[in-house]
Structure 1
């Protein structure tokens, strides 16, 4: 049904655009030394984490749980998580049909603001 709805070329453009938007988000994360891209981006999925002031895995997990809750509670964006080798990892995926670069930038701004707040409270 998706192929019928979009057609082959439009579906390819749709997927390429989301991959491009995820690459943009990945570059934003990589530019902020408070964050780390944890695994190479896969299609439109970016896995990253907020680094704790100390290199403490337990603190890192707690910090990223707090960031996930703070970001999702805004109602402006929704991110998910996974646990990779015992580390709590945040996941940002581009998938909504109308997503544009301005939405990705706004999502990044929410993440940065909440990260600043969390790190300031430590």
Structure 2
């Protein structure tokens, strides 16, 4: 379910900025912001990535991945305070979607708890951590 959507466009440079959406799953909600610059889709996720938010987030990310001309995707996880196995499954599913298109998925700035979970699960072997 989409609650709020904001879009700003820098027409002079052709860069989309601050496109935000809030996805709801049960009692939890997640904020997703994105921009496209230099053929890279940057997606910032804020909230708890668990069973209640994984499905609507998956739908939103798949919509973003359909943007023409993107060469790589960077998921900024700095705002993710919690992730469970459903979140890991959602990330792996998005990796497979992008891999089929030949687009690498990179993870950026996870908080300590999330970073430890991703390290233990081996996610960084297929989705490198940057920054």
The TM-score range, normalised by the shorter chain, is 0.3 to 0.5
Give the TM-score taking structure 1 as reference length.
0.34
Which is strand-richer, 1 or 2? 2
- TM-score normalised to the size of structure 2? 0.33
Higher helix share: 1
Could you say which structure has the greater relative contact order, defined with CA pairs below 8 angstroms and 6 or more residues apart? 1
